[in-house]
Every structure is written in C-alpha cells, then in structure tokens.
Amino acid sequence: MAMGKLEGKVAFITGAARGQGRAHALRLAEEGADIIALDLCAQLPEVEYDLSTPDDLAHTVKLVEELGRRIVAGQADVRDEDAVEAVVAEGVASFGRLDIAIANAGLMPITSERAEAMSAWHVAIDVMLTGVLHTIRASVPPMLEAGNGGSIVLTSSTAALRPFSSPQTMTPGLAGYTAAKMGVVALTKFYAAGLAKQGIRVNCIHPTGVNSPMVANEAFFNWVMQHPEMGDALQNALDVPLVECEDIANAAFWLISDEARYVTGIQLPVDAGFNIKV
C-alpha cells in the first residue's frame, strides 16, 4: 500500500465533530496523519439550529480509527484558551509532535430573534475570531519546538470577500459573523508574515455555502425564505447551490501538502464562482 503524503504527521482540527471539521479529519487521516480533534459538543443559546454532540465527536473518532490512524479527541470551547491548549498538549504528549492546524470551529448566529441580541455579536467574534487566535497560539509552540515548520489553515468565508446583508438582516449576529470572517484574513496575513522565517505557513480558505449542518438546517432555510433578497445574494456563479464538505477538505489538504510548500499568506476561495458572479 502506498504511503500517504502526510505519513508521520499530526494535525490539530477544531470543530471536528461533524461537517467540515470531520471532513478535514478524514481527508488528512486518509493521507496518513494522526489527528487531534476538538469540539464544543454543546448547545449555545444564540444559535437556533442544533450544534454538535458528544456522539458526533465519538463518530469522528471511530471513522478516523477505521482508516488506521490514531486520534486524541477532546471536548473544549475554543473561547477558552487554556482548554484549547490542554487538548493540544494531550495530543502532542500522545503523538510527540504537531505539524498541522486547521482552525475550523464556527457557527451561524444569524437566524430568528436571537440574532438581534448583542450576545450574538459576541459569540460570533469570540468563537470565529478569538477562537481562531487561541487555536494558532496553542499550535505554534509545539510546531516551533519540533523544528519541522508547519502549516496552519484558517476557515474564513465568502462573507469576507463579498459581504451579504440587507436592511432587514443588519443584525448583531450577521454583523459579528461578517466581522469575524474578515478578521480571519487579518490573522492570516499577520501570522504568515511573522512565522515565515520559522517555516510555518499560514493560509485561509473562503468557502461559499457548504452542505453542512451549519447551513443545511431548517432555521437557515426559513431565514432565507423570510429574506428572499438574501437567497438571491447567496447564489453562486456555477450552477450548484452548495459545495460539499469534502471540497473544502481537499483545498485544505492541498495547502497543507508539499505541493503548496511555498504558498503562504493567501486567501483561497472555494466558492463556485460566488465572488465573480454578476
């Protein structure tokens, strides 16, 4: 059997219980990586749709192990830097190194009256911007200690390239989502520049709508029905309403792989032409 392109490497992934995070874990495990997986596995009041559960995370563990790879999984909140560091430390203690980090954890606090509360702004910023910062800060020290360089991939959004809103949807929740995803671009450039001399590459991906539980749920569907102008704004140029989680995982794998060894500080849209539509 041929060796995978990530044989012997270790990847830390947040939001790994399902959706894009699980797809990342499986794609990298297929290529030989061992996985450190983190997810909250709990509900938040600002989010109308169901978030992940401990059973979801356990299923990710099972699927990775079925691929013949090792995995350390922890329930933790990316808003808690100490908790993130503890999961990384447990994984590094088990596997002896860290080579890859994917800051994927995210949520969409934009539907129903919950989006009107300032707490929706705070949870968006705290999870998808501060949480990304915590992920980077927990990952860089073991990468530097190993001295092998590394690759960090941050999940942004087409909302950072072509923000969508209307007079009826200018809520703290949607504003927080948009601001967080734009902030991820700044973190990408900041850390790519600062870590380049140590051989650690930092890039971000801008997905369009993805067929994951964050989008493929009744709450988001109802929101689009209530705001048809948003449905029009979210259309892609290519004739596909949503891309798949695996499409994002494939893009992240390329950024991580040696084929992209001199690629750092970039924004890679996987957007079915969303950003070029007329």
Domain boundaries, the chain: 10-268
pLDDT of residue 2: 60
Chain segment 203-243, per-residue pLDDT in tens? 999 999 999 999 999 998 999 888 888 877 789 999 999 99
Contact (Cβ atoms closer than 8 angstroms) between residue 153 and residue 101: yes
pLDDT of residue 232: 79
Contact (Cβ atoms closer than 8 angstroms) between residue 275 and residue 158: yes
Residue listed under structure tokens 């995070």: 21
pLDDT of residue 250: 98
Domain 10-268 has CATH 3.30.530.50: no
Region 87-102: what's the mean pLDDT? 98
Region 66-77: what's the mean pLDDT? 98
User: In the annotation, is 49 catalytic?
Assistant: no
Q: Percent of the chain having pLDDT more than 90?
A: 90
Chain segment 143-195, per-residue pLDDT in tens? 999 999 999 999 999 999 998 888 888 999 999 999 999 999 999 999 999 99
Confidence of residue 271 (pLDDT cuts 50, 70, 90): very high
Residue listed under structure tokens 């968006």: 124
pLDDT of residue 168: 84
Please, what is the end-to-end C-alpha distance for the chain in angstroms?
47
Tell me 127's DSSP state.
Answer: I
Cβ neighbours for 145, distance < 8 A, ≥ 6 positions apart: none
> Residues 192, 91, 34, 266: what is their CA dihedral angle, to the nearest 10 degrees?
-10
pLDDT of residue 1: 46
The CA distance from 206 to 187, in Å, is 14
Side chain identity, residue 229: E
The CA distance from 156 to 185, in Å, is 7
pTM: 0.96
Contact (Cβ atoms closer than 8 angstroms) between residue 245 and residue 22: yes
